[in-house]
Structure 1
Amino acid sequence: MASTVKEVTKELLPLVRVYKDGSVERLVGSPYVPPSPDQDPETGVSSKDITISHNPVISARLYLPKLTQSDKKCPILVYFHGGGFCIESSFSFLDHRYLNALVSQSQVVAVSVEYRLAPEHPLPAAYQDSWAALQWVTSHKIAEDPNKEPWLLKYGDFDRVFIGGDSAGGNIAHNIAMQAGVESLPNDVKIAGAILSHPYFWGSRPIGSEPSDNHEKSFSCLVWEFVYPSASGGIDNEMVNPVGRGKPSLAKLGCSRLLVCVAGKDSLRDRGIWYVDAVKESGFEGEVELFEVEGEDHAFHVFYPETQSAKDMIRRLAFFINCR
Structure 2
Amino acid sequence: MASATKEIATDLTPALRVYKDGTVERLFGSPHVPPSPEDQTTGVSSKDVTISPLISARLYLPKTTTTQKLPILVYFHGGAFCVESAFSFLDHRYMNLIASESQALVVSVEYRLAPEHPLPAAYEDCWDATQWVASHAVDGNDDGGDKELWLINHGDFERVFIGGDSAGGNIVHNIAMRAGIERFHGDLKILGAFLSCPYFWGSKPLGSEPSESREQMLTYRMWMFVYPSAPGGIDNPMINPFADDAPSLSGLGCSKVLVCVAEKDTLRDRGVHYVEAVKEESGWKGEVELVEVEGEDHCFHIFTPDTENAKNLIKRLASFIAQ
Q: Distance in 1 between matches of 2:11 and 2:227?
A: 14
CA contact (8 A) 2:143 2:149 kept: no
Corresponding position of 1:151: 150
TM-score relative to the length of structure 2:
0.96
Which residue identity does 2:28 align to in structure 1?
A: V
Select 2:57's aligned residue among 53, 57, 60.
60
Corresponding position of 1:126: 122
1:21 shift after superposition: 2.4
Corresponding position of 2:305: 305
1:216 shift after superposition: 2.1
Deviations 1:134-185 (A, max 9, x none): 0000100124252310000000000000000000000000000000000000
1:4 shift after superposition: 8.4
CA contact (8 A) 2:104 2:322 kept: no
TM-score relative to the length of structure 1:
0.96
CA contact (8 A) 2:71 2:105 kept: yes
Aligned residues: 317
Runs in 1 of length 4+ with deviation above 6 angstroms? none
Select 2:82's aligned residue among 44, 68, 86.
86
Which residue identity does 1:67 align to in structure 2?
A: T
Q: Distance in 1 between matches of 2:212 and 2:312?
A: 35
Corresponding position of 2:17: 17
Which residue identity does 2:9 align to in structure 1?
A: T
Which residue identity does 2:260 align to in structure 1?
A: C
Deviations 1:248-300 (A, max 9, x none): 01000000000000011111000001111111111211001111111111001
Corresponding position of 1:233: 232
SS at match of 1:121: coil
Between 273-282 and 16-25, the greater mean CA deviation after superposition: 16-25
The structure-2 alpha-carbon separation of the partners of 1:77 and 1:4, relative to structure 1 and needing over 3 Å to count, comes to: closer
Q: Within 5 A, what are the aligned runs for 1:276-295?
A: 276-283=275-282, 284-295=284-295
SS at match of 2:56: strand
Unpaired segments ≥5 residues, structure 1? none
Between 257-266 and 136-145, the greater mean CA deviation after superposition: 136-145
Corresponding position of 1:96: 92
CA contact (8 A) 2:138 2:185 kept: no
The structure-2 alpha-carbon separation of the partners of 1:134 and 1:41, relative to structure 1 and needing over 3 Å to count, comes to: same
SS at match of 2:297: coil
Q: Distance in 1 between matches of 2:14 and 2:261?
A: 23
Corresponding position of 2:200: 201
Deviations 1:161-211 (A, max 9, x none): 000000000000000000000000000000000000000000001110111
